[in-house]
Chains A and B, each alone.
Chain A
Amino acid sequence: EIVLTQSPATLSLSPGERATLSCRASQSVSSYLAWYQQKPGQAPRLLIYDASNRATGIPARFSGSGSGTDFTLTISSLEPEDFAVYYCQQRSNWPPATFGQGTKLEIK
């Protein structure tokens, strides 16, 4: 099973700042990595698939990069609605599909 490790666990930033979230895989997942955003009481929302492709309707301030074992989600300039929990997920070598433990992005 591929283990995804996200860092940091919590990121405290202010609106307008740049956010950089990391996801590291225990073995190569090629480019088959996705990022999701989840707000309290809501279902997850797909942001990025295949490492760098924005999902439908996702603002351009969200970008993804990486391949192999190291991936990054960047939010170029934080909006108030971006404060949430972010998960990475792989389906390169599955089953099982696996998720990271999440990064909580909170307002500083």
Chain B
Amino acid sequence: EVQLVESGGGLVKPGGSLRLSCAASGFTFSSYSMNWVRQAPGKGLEWVSSISSSSSYIYYADSVKGRFTISRDNAKNSLYLQMNSLRAEDTAVYYCARDGDSNTAFDIWGQGTMVTVSS
């Protein structure tokens, strides 16, 4: 079964750091670009970051550039998001999502992990 499972969310104070992980199974992880997408409580979806299959290409939303770092370990079938200098507006459910074969849509999503930034 193709599956993505996120972990690492939690409660953190403003200015703090958190590292999210996404474990992939059921497909050849190293062949796919991967993404993080977030959703603030009661709000819509916001793309956060993307990384190509070999980590050659990395992109960030302006809202997180310079604070978040995406990475992957193809040997461990894992995707990561290092989040530093967290703000209240970063509070959201964070989803990892796989690029589909067309590279224009996200075809597989994890269940999400909640990040709450509050003092």
Q: Do B44 and A50 touch (CB < 8 A)?
A: no
Residue in contact with B109 in the complex, picked from A43, A53, A97, CB distance below 8 Å:
A43
Q: Do B61 and A55 touch (CB < 8 A)?
A: no
Measured CA separation A98–B105 after assembly (Å): 11
Q: Answer whether residue A62 sits at the interface, using C-beta atoms and an 8 A cutoff.
A: no
Interface size in chain A (residues, C-beta < 8 A):
27
Q: Interface centre among B45, B100, B104, by most A CB within 10 Å? A: B104
Whole-angstrom distance between the Cβ of B8 and the nearest chain A Cβ: 16
**Contact residues of A between 36 and 79, Cβ < 8 Å to B:** 36, 38, 42-46, 49-50, 53, 55-56
Whole-angstrom distance between the Cβ of B67 and the nearest chain A Cβ: 15
Whole-angstrom distance between the Cβ of B26 and the nearest chain A Cβ: 13
Q: Answer whether residue B27 sits at the interface, using C-beta atoms and an 8 A cutoff.
A: no
Whole-angstrom distance between the Cβ of B39 and the nearest chain A Cβ: 9
Measured CA separation A105–B20 after assembly (Å): 32
**Contact residues of B between 2 and 57, Cβ < 8 Å to A:** 35, 37, 44-47, 50
Measured CA separation A94–B99 after assembly (Å): 14
Q: Do B44 and A97 touch (CB < 8 A)?
A: no
- Seen from chain B, the residues whose Cβ lies within 8 Å of a Cβ on chain A are 35, 37, 44-47, 50, 59-62, 95, 100, 102-107, 109-112
Q: A43-B112, A44-B106 are in contact. List 20 more A-B contacts (CB 8 A).
A: A32-B104, A34-B106, A38-B45, A42-B111, A43-B95, A43-B111, A46-B100, A49-B104, A49-B105, A50-B102, A55-B105, A87-B45, A89-B105, A89-B106, A92-B104, A96-B59, A96-B61, A97-B35, A97-B47, A102-B45
